[in-house]
């Protein structure tokens, strides 16, 4: 189906899109992070709606004081149980979309089968990717996933979209990057701050493309990120920032994640996914190989079974047992 087969965003407001969402089935849910992924349709085209319970605005003591007040903050309450000095309740909180929203929604529309697979519940595998497996399986996949598949990244870098959200930019085409809030962050709660730095240069798809020649650039980007974040958000100090990259990344244009250390970023900050940028730089500094860098390294990561990389790639080479 082409983009002309359904209404464009110019024809529908964001609220209209959500209202037209028709439920099909639940793809996945996480009771820890309070996130649910729902598959449905908008105008007969597949759509994925993700709903996440919002964090409390703990930095706003007046709002929390109001929240903890029956009638003004708690509209209804029911005692669940009691034991000595301990009591447990269920409650309905007074909510307002501007000051105390109940949930953060994200929408993918039109959604492809790749999106559906990614957001569905799936078993995961531990992949030990040797240089040989990288060249055989991942390189062809990266070639397929670049270009038009990440046009949305290029739109950000060229200021065609999301320009109003940019926190900081170094416009140099080789050394620079754009720093902006990740859509996972509500842009309010400092404890859950989540930013992403997308580099301008296009020759680095993942950490596999890094070598010793990139060390000065990576150190400069690292320092610039810390300075930009602490200036934009004075309440945050350098030692409160977790600055890391993903391997495997979710898209193949080099980018860096920046979160508050207090924020539980789930699998995105877990072993088998996240690598601290400072540790990455240290590994490069320790290398004797000055040319090839990480292209000749072995990396271990987690991969979902729904991924094309598993079903059409690593499964045949690794799942021999």
* Residues acting as catalytic residues: 255
CA separation for the pair 297, 134 (Å, rounded): 9
Kindly state the tokens that stand for 234.
């004075």
Residue-level length of the chain:
321
> How many other C-beta atoms are found inside a 10 Å radius of the C-beta of residue 193?
26
CA separation for the pair 22, 102 (Å, rounded): 21
Kindly state the tokens that stand for 178.
């754009």
Q: List Cα–Cα distances, 309 to 124, 129, 248, 300, in angstroms.
A: 12, 12, 11, 14
CA separation for the pair 117, 251 (Å, rounded): 15
CA separation for the pair 69, 72 (Å, rounded): 6
Q: Do the beta carbons of residue 137 and residue 314 sit within 8 Å?
A: yes
Closest of 73, 26, 76 to residue 51, by C-alpha: 26
CA separation for the pair 223, 173 (Å, rounded): 18
Helix axes 277-286, 215-232, angle to 10 degrees: 160
**Do the bridges between strand 45-53 and strand 103-108 make them parallel or antiparallel, or are there none, so unpaired?**
antiparallel
Number of alpha carbons in the 13 Å side-chain half-sphere of residue 222: 18
Assign residue 43 a region (left: φ > 0; alpha: ψ between -120 and 50; beta: otherwise): left
> How many other C-beta atoms are found inside a 10 Å radius of the C-beta of residue 115?
18
């Amino acid at each position: 189906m082409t983009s002309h087969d359904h209404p464009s965003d110019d024809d529908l407001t964001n609220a209209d899109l959500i209202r037209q969402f028709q439920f099909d089935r639940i793809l996945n849910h996480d009771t820890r992070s309070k996130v649910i992924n729902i598959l449905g349709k908008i105008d007969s085209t597949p759509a994925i709606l993700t709903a996440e319970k919002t964090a409390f605005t703990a930095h706003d003591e007046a709002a929390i004081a109001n929240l903890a007040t029956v009638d003004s903050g708690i509209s209804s309450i029911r005692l669940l149980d009691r034991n000595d000095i301990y009591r447990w309740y269920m409650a309905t909180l007074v909510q307002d979309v501007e000051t105390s929203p109940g949930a953060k929604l994200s929408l993918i529309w039109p959604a492809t089968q790749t999106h559906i697979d990614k957001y569905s519940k799936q078993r995961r595998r531990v992949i030990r990717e040797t240089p040989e497996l990288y060249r055989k399986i991942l390189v062809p996949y990266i070639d397929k996933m670049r270009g038009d598949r990440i046009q949305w990244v290029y739109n950000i870098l060229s200021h065609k979209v999301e320009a109003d959200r940019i926190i900081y930019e170094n416009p140099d085409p080789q050394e620079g990057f754009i720093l902006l809030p990740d859509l996972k962050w509500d842009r309010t709660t400092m404890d859950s701050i989540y930013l992403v730095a997308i580099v301008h240069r296009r020759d680095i798809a993942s950490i596999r493309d890094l070598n010793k020649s990139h060390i000065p650039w990576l150190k400069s980007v690292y320092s610039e990120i810390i300075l930009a974040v602490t200036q934009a958000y004075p309440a945050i100090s350098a030692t409160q920032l977790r600055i890391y990259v993903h391997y495997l990344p979710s898209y193949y244009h080099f980018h860096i994640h920046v979160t508050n250390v207090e924020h539980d970023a789930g699998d995105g900050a877990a072993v088998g996914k996240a690598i601290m940028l400072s540790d990455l730089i240290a590994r490069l500094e320790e290398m004797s190989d000055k040319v090839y860098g990480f292209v000749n390294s072995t990396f271990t990561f987690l991969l979902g079974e729904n991924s094309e990389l598993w079903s059409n790639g690593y499964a045949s080479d690794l799942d021999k047992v």
